[in-house]
Structure 1
Amino acid sequence: MAKKRKKSKSAQKGAAAATDELKAKDEKKNNNLPKKDAKERKKARADGIVMTLYPAVLGAIFGFASLSLFGTGIPAEGSAGMAYPWYFVITLVIAITFYVQKFTYPYLKINVDEFKTKDWFYVEFIAVDLWLVSWTLLLN
């Protein structure tokens, strides 16, 4: 069997000092974050569920509305109507769902003042995604 080589005292002290520095940095990072109690975690979880379901329902509603307002997006032959291009419809859906959510979230007890850009992208992506999926399914 091979003998295990012992580290010198100075190498052991150096390794211990490096470990202590890493622990101190981790503690410093964790101390800056506020600790959430169970009530705040429960509220954040409920808000997250609402912020996922509400735009999904809005997107599905706009899918049905798009079918009734715009149909297939292609005018029938001989019809005298304006055909809306897809980019106009998607811009309209984004704008309307944004303002609907912005003004109805306070009624759902969600603070929109705390929303960051990524939160708005998240809820708008869900709304637009569900709008597109529901409209596509209804067109088929």
Structure 2
Amino acid sequence: MATEQVSERRSSHVRGVTVTAVATLAGIAAAFVSAAFLGTAAKDQLGLAIVAGFVFVQLPVLQVMGIDVEDFSTKDHLYVLFMTFSMWFVTWTILLTNGVTF
């Protein structure tokens, strides 16, 4: 009985770490794609479309990694959206501030 609880907690923890890692890496990748396509033009709204695309691409990626996205609640979807957006925003801001071009 105690073994089942430990196993359930471990799988829940692995699920959370996986979702967080994929969301943050997708946000960073979206920032680099934004910087590559848009350069230092921070006024272009295409950056939001790029990050939205990365948010939608994450769900099939998570399914391939074995995460059941059908069980995602609204809170889980908002978490993925927030983590991806915030990492994109911070990373792209750093790239824009330093004038990085590709």
Q: TM-score, normalised on structure 1? A: 0.62
RMSD, aligned CA: 1.6
Query: 2:31·2:88 contact (CA, 8 Å) conserved in 1?
Result: yes
1:85 is aligned to: 44
Number of aligned residues:
94
Moved over 2 A (4+): none
Is 1:72 the counterpart of 2:31 in the alignment?
Answer: no
**Aligned-partner SS, 2:64:** helix
1:100, distance to aligned residue in structure 2 (A): 1.0
Question: In structure 2, what is the Cα distance between the partners aligned to 1:62 and 1:117?
Answer: 23
Bigger share in helix: 2
Q: Percent of pairs identical after alignment? A: 29
Correspondence 1:114-133 to 2 at 5 A = 114-133=71-90
Match of 2:29 among 61, 64, 81: 61
Query: 1:59·1:127 contact (CA, 8 Å) conserved in 2?
Result: yes
Bigger RCO of structures 1 and 2 (CA < 8 A, at least 6 apart): 2
Amino acid of the structure 1 residue aligned with 2:70: D
Amino acid of the structure 2 residue aligned with 1:38: V
Structure 1, unaligned runs of 5 or more: 1-35, 75-83
Structure 2, unaligned runs of 5 or more: 98-102
Query: 1:97·1:124 contact (CA, 8 Å) conserved in 2?
Result: no
User: Judging changes above 3 Å, is the alpha-carbon distance between structure 1 residues 52 and 125 closer, same or farther for their aligned structure 2 residues?
Assistant: same
